[in-house]
Amino acid sequence: MNESQLEILSEIVRAVKAGRRFLVVTHVRPDGDAVGSVLALTFMLRKLGRKADAYCADPLPIGYDFLAGAEDIRHDVSDPSSYDVAITVDCGDFQRVGDELAEAIARIPLLINIDHHVGKSVFGHINWVQTSASSTCEMLYRLSSMLEVPLDADIASQLYTGILTDTGSFRFSNTNRDVLEIASRLVASGAQPSLIAQYVYDSGQPQRLRLLAKVLATVTFHADNRLAAAELSQKMLAETETSHLDSEGFINELRSVRPVRLAMLFREGRNGMVHVSLRSKGDVDVAGFAHKYGGGGHRQAAAFRVAGNLEEVRSAFTTEALSYIA
């Protein structure tokens, strides 16, 4: 960590010591790093004697309800003026907190932003954006040391969950020596790897498998199988009685095919928008692709959304993606 990053961390520590009531916020359609980071930071603040509430606009995906505090995550904020500090975690774009809360946060005096995505991450009064970090939970582990917060089993499990999921179970290229050392320390503090993995990856319901079958039936391969694309429509959700929350991790099925270098999953929203998720391997950089259309993410995992018809969006962007693997 360079001198500039350390100064930002010190500024956050000063703000935490000065603040009294905190609203900790993560992004819509939360993943493991979002859930782990919003809970871990909330618990850290409470250990320091601060009042802190965790917020997420959307329900949590199946598999994260085992984490301490998950049942207490708020989905609405009735009086934002009661908070003196808001902290966003894992939000590469301010709008990802949700439209309602984006307006409410403007009424909170101080906004701290902690994130590791490449994108529109500089939107707070204090911005700690470390794109080299594997996850926001990795960053919060370092913050816990600066805040001198002792890690218990609850916080260790929350942080471990975020690191586990954002590294693809320690398979992605963002897995390095530092990440593994931090994971080891979290295990020493009470995180149970096998139990966490069981909850996160083995909590699916039968209807989720039916939805996956429908999505996989739409897979097409291009460019000598180096590009894989699939779609998820509102009709599929209705037929299987599922929601988009049940589709977390589906894109990794496409990425798992050996010759695939770029995987794309097109998800039809209810508001005329199509959500495009991107995953890559090797030297294929999808962050730039997503950023071009107002999205963001990482070199090998990114997303964006565009207005349009599912079929037309899939056709147009699959064609454009071919240039990224040429």
Residue-wise pLDDT tens digits, 282-326: 999 998 899 899 888 888 999 999 999 999 999 999 999 999 887
CATH of the domain at 183: 3.90.1640.10
What proportion of the chain, given as a percentage, has pLDDT over 70? Answer: 99
By residue count, the chain amounts to 326
| Averaged pLDDT for residues 218-240 | 98
Looking at the structure, tell me whether residues 73 and 210 fall in a common domain. Answer: no
Structural domain harbouring 140: 3-201
Looking at the structure, tell me whether residues 101 and 191 fall in a common domain. Answer: yes
- How confident is residue 120, by pLDDT bands cut at 50, 70 and 90? low
| Averaged pLDDT for residues 166-176 | 93
Query: Which is more confident, 62 or 18?
Result: 18
Closest CA relative to residue 41, chosen from 117, 198, 151: 151
Looking at the structure, tell me whether residues 193 and 217 fall in a common domain. Answer: no
* pTM summary value: 0.91
Looking at the structure, tell me whether residues 196 and 279 fall in a common domain. Answer: no
Looking at the structure, tell me whether residues 146 and 210 fall in a common domain. Answer: no
CATH of the domain at 273: 3.10.310.30
Last residue of a domain, one of 201, 234, 263: 201
Closest CA relative to residue 126, chosen from 28, 236, 15: 15
The 8-class DSSP code of residue 1 comes to -
Looking at the structure, tell me whether residues 181 and 270 fall in a common domain. Answer: no
- How confident is residue 83, by pLDDT bands cut at 50, 70 and 90? very high
Structurally, the chain folds into a number of domains equal to: 2
For residue 121, pLDDT over 80 is answered with no
Looking at the structure, tell me whether residues 180 and 303 fall in a common domain. Answer: no
Looking at the structure, tell me whether residues 220 and 163 fall in a common domain. Answer: no
Q: Looking at residue 315, what is its pLDDT?
A: 98
313: phi > 0 → left, psi -120 to 50 → alpha, else beta; which?
A: alpha
Q: In whole angstroms, what separates CA 130 from the centre of its chain?
A: 14
Looking at the structure, tell me whether residues 16 and 58 fall in a common domain. Answer: yes
Question: What is the C-alpha to C-alpha distance for residues 13 and 221, in angstroms, rounded to an integer?
Answer: 49
SS3 297: strand
Looking at the structure, tell me whether residues 131 and 66 fall in a common domain. Answer: yes
The neighbour count for residue 225, using CB atoms within 10 Å, is 12
